[in-house]
Structure 1
Amino acid sequence: MAGKVDHPSTWVRTLDKETESPVDGIIIGKIPEWLQGSLMRNGSGILEIGETKMDHLFDGLSVINRFAIDGQGEGKATYQNCILKSDTYKDSKAANRLTMHQFGTFAYPDPCKSLLGKYACFFKAAIDCLYNCAVNLCYFGDKLYALTETPFIRQIDSETLDIIGEKCDISKLVAVNHATAHPHVNEDGTVYNMGNSVGSKGPAYNVIEFPAGDGEFCRQKIVATIPSRWKMSHSYYHSFGITENYFVFIEYPLIANTAKLLTMNLRQKAFDSSLDWTPNEHTRIILCERKTGDLVETVYETPPFFSFHIGNCYEKDGYLVMDLSHCKDDTVISGLSVKSLRENKGDFTNTYYTRFVLPLAGIEPPVDKTFQKRENLIKLEGSKCISYWISDKIIFCEPDRLSDLSLELPRINYSRNGLEYRFAYGISQTDGYAESEKILKLDVTSRDVKIWAKTEFSPSEPVYVSRPGSTDEDDGVILFSAVHQVDVKKVLLVILNAATFEEEAVVEYVASGVVTKDFHGLFSRTGDALHGY
């Protein structure tokens, strides 16, 4: 375990000056000639604004980072960043304090308002305040959007990083009041996402389809609806899965309590205060047929757990395999409070890449209705997972940890999304200190691990990019940034050979101001009409 550090976590930095114009870096090694495009990153880059200091990492206002890469000739890669000029940012900057509630930070009414004005402000719907798109990026058609966990998204220019037009409210397009920051992009460009709704039958989770090429949002529709198991509340979730034939939704026993949500303003508490962890309830996995939108009658339950990120799901030999970054409970969320991060006590070390296997075909409940025998239904070669009937409609699934090293922010070769795959890439942390952050390559078949780490640098989520014409799953490169743990203006672009995990090139930059950490992003290849993950 690392000793005590003499500097705060790199996650709690605040950008003080934008690097508006692209800056050149010092290249060590050789950028592959075929690598041309932009690595785009989005994250929580402003944790202090005026008089307000944010309480949670998810509250930081968005900063977009761009590495423009051209491997032709001697090779070149530039770096720039830009504050996303959201309504939250502009209003808060003008007021010299946070003016809109965030995930974990409550924004108090303007002290200059009248008593009546303050009263009205407290009753304003909380969702109307969450305009800060600081989690991910996604292309809808040829248009790039910044996303968060609300229905509000913002189009940005892929070169200047400036906002284009007004914010888009997905809830005005389809009947949802929420959307994840982790859509899935099909090979034809169709985008799928999930969002909540509340109707006459109570809370539900909806799968939203954005048809290929629809950058104007005129043909989107709900293609599947999954009712909540709770009559008045719904589960908090961050991502969902997809296979060739199914949408995969995980309903965690982390409940967004409706009564608490409706009284947030009166209680003067942020959204995170409305989340209730219920360890006496199972986590539930629900499958929905993509062709029809029908729910699979069999329900799959597991010991209670929470996950931010599903790595991949696929079907094989009558089973559905689901791999994800598994947390034993919801303490990972409190571990991302600014206080925990400043004290290097963030709980990132108990998130492991874990597999569940769900039987699909040729299964019938046992004749013995006592369900005491618990015969393992998993006959998939090489699997250590266990699944068995606990009622006529419920199969209980016990997972298999794929590595003893932690792994979060998992990414894959996206051409394997929804298909059988072999390699997952992510960040590993062996203790609460930034010095322990590493980039992993996990072979989910052999369970072998390759590791990249560099002293004094803290890496971002890794992104896989295939070499043009490649057929092998790891015939490409891994791209990520890495900020210096002491020199706040220094940042690296790291290019690893995905097969060997050795450095092909490292580009070092000195930015105009503080370089902040980020959450998610993508690589858009020059000349491609479609940009997935």
Structure 2
Amino acid sequence: MSEQFFKLGFSNLDKELSAVPLKTKGQIPTWLNGTLFRNGPAKFTANDNSSWHTHWFDGLAMLHKFSFYEGNVLYSNRYLRSNAYYSTLENGQFNIGFGSKGGTKIKNANNTNINVTILDDRFVALAESPAIIEFNPVNLETVEVFNFDDSLGGQLTTAHPHYDLQTKRYINFTTEFGQAHQYHLYSVAAHRRKRELIASVPTDRPAYMHSFANTENYAIITEFPLVIDPRDMGNEHKALIENFTWKPDQGTLFRVVRKSDGVILKSFEAEAFFSFHHVNAFEINGGLILDICALEDDRTVNHLQVSNLKGETGEPIFVQLRRYTVKFNSQNVSYEVLSPESIDLPTIHYSRYSGRSYRYMYGISTNRHHYENYPNQLVKADVQKGTTTIWRQDGCYPGEALFVQRPNATNEDDGVILSVIMDGHNSHSFLLVLDAQTFEELGRADVVNHIPFGFHGMFTGEQYM
């Protein structure tokens, strides 16, 4: 087995930089003006000598910013100043968080290290706890906890709200545990912070769900059989995910809600599977299509312990790009596999095709012939033709691939792909710019340091220098 150069991606980044010009190679398109924001963990040990290990999802949140102007790129990064951050730096205590095997339960940890979005015209960092942290898009400084102007309950949420292209509203849901467990599906209008309830979906098997699906008329909560007994959550020494149990005999339920009036359609059933990420969903005559990055079971949750990821390669875990078909006149849901490649952290041309029939998706992937514990290639899947295009460079490990449309483009894939790449051979990261149509490199911008592996981000056409 070759040396696994990706291990640097799970090591601490202590430097914080502000508007550093990056050396570029190739050609960064001059039309690419705006800002790429990225979020993810960047500290996994309290200090260099610590033997404390964490789950990848529990590293301290760091924001990264790439500012584009006339073919140039500036880079900035900064830790979120959360309760979890201060506890780690001042007391050497990590939050037990999502899946860590040690650590301390920190009250209101607010380690929002998964995603970023805009709510009520504020830039915010998100995780799966209801807390949301506002940050300044110019200097990345932490502002304050972002509070909604309502009393909607819930102990969990998703870090993947949808922006509904029809209503111009954000949609998400919370999971509330009680005598009657419920998923509260809600929407938020632009320039507002009051959540308006669409529907409360009762459940007797509250599940761990990282994302959900949204079409023009429906929201779909995919309830996997990774379920919880809420009475277990009182244990101060257990991480969040340790409260969930895999019960494959229960199968997977697709809970469909009509957004216009909150009517809950019947639950549609499929065999047991697990997923972190929905790709896209859209409506067909008499039903729905849901494209999902699917796993056979929940093994990947524990696989993502940093100690496992940095260890020797174990049993390969591949993620299937599946298309599930829901027929309203049938109880059962079927699926087909759309690509032979393992694909996760999926993205699409969201601003035009979210919730609508589409053709292309992009993701990170693990090469089947050169398996490593972290994905080592980027893929573009044509979900209509069933073909897949790959970008791969030995010793390089990609982050989420975000699509940015070329001005006045008419074709779905006319634009570029942006991905933060870990260059394991040279011990630093670079921002890769691919032509989205050909999937060939246009240019790259070298960062002087490594950027630990992160999760999600967003591109805005506004320039925050």
TM-score (normalizing by structure 2): 0.93
For 1:273, the aligned partner's letter is E
Contact 2:177 2:230 in 1 (8 A): no
CA distance in structure 2 between the aligned counterparts of 1:248 and 1:180, rounded to whole angstroms? 13
Show structure 1 runs of 4+ deviating over 3 A.
106-109, 126-130, 169-173, 344-349
Instruction: Report what 2:387 is aligned to.
Output: 448
- After superposition, the Cα gap between the structure-2 partners of 1:6 and 1:168, relative to the gap in structure 1 and judged at 3 Å, is closer
Question: Which one-letter code corresponds to 2:145 in the other structure?
Answer: K
In 2, Cα distance between the equivalents of 1:285 and 1:351?
Answer: 20
Name the SS for the 1:332 alignment partner.
helix
Q: CA RMSD in A?
A: 2.1
Using the alignment, how far apart are the partners of 1:333 and 1:23 within structure 2?
A: 36
The one-letter code matched in structure 1 to 2:93 is R
Q: Structure 2 matches for 1:352-391, cutoff 5 A?
A: 352-360=320-328, 363=329, 389=330
The alignment status of 1:482 with 2:421, answered yes or no, reads yes
Distance (whole Å) between structure 2 residues aligned to residue 436 and residue 315 of structure 1:
31
Secondary structure at the aligned position of 1:405 is classed as coil
Paired position in structure 2 for 1:499: 437
2:295 equivalent in structure 1: 327
**Out of 286, 290, 293, which is 1:318 matched to?**
286
* Structure 1 unmatched runs, 5+: 110-125, 364-388, 390-394, 529-533
Whole-angstrom CA distance in 1 between matches of 2:454 and 2:315: 18
Whether the 8 Å CA contact 2:397–2:424 is kept in 1: the answer is: yes
Separation in 2, partners of 1:171, 1:150: 17
State the partner residue of 2:23: 26
CA displacement 1:220-239 (0-9 Å, x = unmatched): 22211111133xxx101000
Q: Distance in 1 between matches of 2:315 and 2:208?
A: 19
The CA distance in 1 between the partners of 2:425 and 2:374, in whole Å, is 11
Preserved contact between residue 335 and residue 347 of structure 1 (Cα < 8 Å): no
1:34-433 alignment runs, 5 A limit: 34-50=31-47, 51=50, 53-70=52-69, 72=70, 75-98=71-94, 100-105=95-100, 128-164=107-143, 166-169=144-147, 173-187=151-165, 189-200=168-179, 202-214=180-192, 217=193, 219-230=194-205, 234-262=206-234, 264-265=235-236, 268-297=237-266, 299-345=267-313, 349-360=317-328, 363=329, 389=330, 395-414=331-350, 415-430=352-367, 432-433=371-372
Contact 1:328–1:350 (CA<8 Å) still a contact in 2?
Answer: no
- Secondary structure in 1 matching 2:124: strand
Q: 3-state DSSP class of the match of 1:260?
A: helix
The CA distance in 1 between the partners of 2:373 and 2:37, in whole Å, is 23
Deviation readout 1:346-374 (Å, 9 max, x if unpaired): 766321110011113xx3xxxxxxxxxxx
| 8 A Cα contact 1:335 1:346, kept in partner | no
CA displacement, residues 450-491 of structure 1 (integer Å, 9 cap, x when unaligned): 111122211100001111221211011111110111443x21
Query: Residues 434 and 442 of structure 2 are in contact (CA less than 8 Å); yes or no, is this contact kept in structure 1?
Result: yes
TM-score (norm. length: structure 1): 0.82
Alignment check: 8 A CA contact 2:67 2:73 kept: yes
- Counterpart CA distance in 1 for 2:200 and 2:315 is 34
Residue 459 of structure 1 corresponds to 398
Secondary structure, in 3 states, of the residue corresponding to 1:4?
Answer: coil
Partner Cα separation in structure 1 for residue 106 and residue 273 of structure 2: 26
Write out per-residue CA displacement over residues 71-121 of structure 1, whole angstroms, 9 at most, x where no aligned residue: x2xx201222111111110122111222x3311226656xxxxxxxxxxxx
Distance in 2, Cα, partners of 1:30 & 1:286: 46
SS where residue 157 of structure 2 aligns?
coil
Aligned equivalents of 2:233, 2:185: Cα separation in 1:
23
1:510 aligns with 2:448: yes
Contact 1:65–1:80 (Cα < 8 Å) also in 2: yes
Identical aligned pairs, as a percentage? 29
Match of 1:519 in 2: 455
| Cα deviation, residue 344, structure 1 | 4.3
- Paired residues of 2:52 and 2:102 also in contact (CA < 8 A): no
Distance 1:524 1:304 in 2: 37
Matched residue of 2:90: which SS? helix
Asked if the contact 2:68/2:463 (under 8 Å) is kept, the reply is no
State the secondary structure of the residue aligned to 1:496.
strand
Cα distance in 2 for partners of 1:197, 1:469 equals 44
Q: Can you list the C-alpha shifts for 1:204-251, whole angstroms capped at 9, x where unaligned?
A: 11112111112xx2x222211111133xxx101000110011001111
The structural deviation recorded for 1:269 is: 2.3
Contact 2:416–2:436 (CA<8 Å) still a contact in 1? Answer: yes
Stretches of structure 2 that go unaligned for 5 or more consecutive residues are none
CA offsets 1:370-393 (integer angstroms, 9 cap, x no match): xxxxxxxxxxxxxxxxxxx5xxxx
Distance 1:521 1:197, change over 3 A: same
| 510 and 347 in structure 1: CA distance in 2 versus 1, 3 angstrom threshold | farther
Q: Identify which range, 23-32 or 131-140, moves more after superposition.
A: 23-32
Q: Which amino acid aligns with 1:210?
A: V
Does the Cα contact within 8 Å between 2:378 and 2:398 map onto a contact in 1? yes
Superimposed CA distance per residue, residues 272-296 of structure 1 (whole angstroms, 9 cap, x where no aligned partner)? 2211000111100010001001101
Aligned length: 458
Q: How much has 1:257 moved relative to structure 2?
A: 2.5
Partner Cα separation in structure 2 for residue 465 and residue 329 of structure 1: 33
For the residues of structure 2 that align with 1:471 and 1:484, how far apart are their CA atoms?
Answer: 34
CA contact (8 A) 2:212 2:278 kept: yes
Closer/same/farther in 2, CA of residues 436 and 260 from structure 1, 3 Å limit: closer
Please report how far the alpha carbon of residue 127 of structure 1 lies from its aligned counterpart in structure 2 after TM superposition: 8.7
> Relative to structure 1, is the Cα distance of residues 5 and 522 closer, same or farther in structure 2, using a 3 angstrom cutoff?
same
